[in-house]
Amino acid sequence: MNATIEKFGWPGTLVREWDHWVLLARPSQPTLGSVILAAKGEATAFGALPAGAHAELATITPALEGALSRAVDYGRINYLMLMMVDPYVHFHVIPRYEGTREWNGREFVDIGWPKVPDLGHAIALEGEELAGLVEWLKGFFPAGS
């Protein structure tokens, strides 16, 4: 795995894996259910990914959006490809919603709703709590998705 994937806690944050991509629970949660969708290779530009990685997104995105919809009942979803600090191809996938969502005794507010997500306002999860979020998210993916 590349350094970007490792920075976001792989393998401990792994929710799902496909041939070309991994889905990681984002340790810093600006909204409940925020994840990282990261390409496995060494590409540092979206256009440099192999054709198979692009094609695989056609099956990943419906599975991901369905899972996050079941998990947090989002109103919109944002795919942010920032890649300023972490150079390998990855998206910050942020489910957006009005109001709050609760999980594990914590309240998650989408501070930026309905505008740009506020990534600086996030709940940092670690240890058992982060592991719990990973397991919780895995439960929203049907087998084979």
- Helix ranges restricted to H, 9-126: 51-72
What pLDDT does residue 142 have?
82
Domains in the chain, please, with CATH?
Answer: 3-138 (3.30.428.10)
Label residues 89-99 b or e (16+ Cβ within 10 Å = b).
bbbbbbbbbee
Per-residue pLDDT of the chain (145 residues; tens, 9 = 90+): 999 999 999 999 999 999 999 999 999 999 999 999 999 999 999 999 999 999 999 999 999 999 999 999 999 999 999 999 999 999 999 999 999 999 999 999 999 999 999 999 999 999 999 999 999 999 999 876 6
What pLDDT does residue 16 have?
98
Task: Classify 87 as helix, strand or coil.
Answer: coil
pTM of the model: 0.97
User: Is-contact 48 11, C-beta < 8 A?
Assistant: no
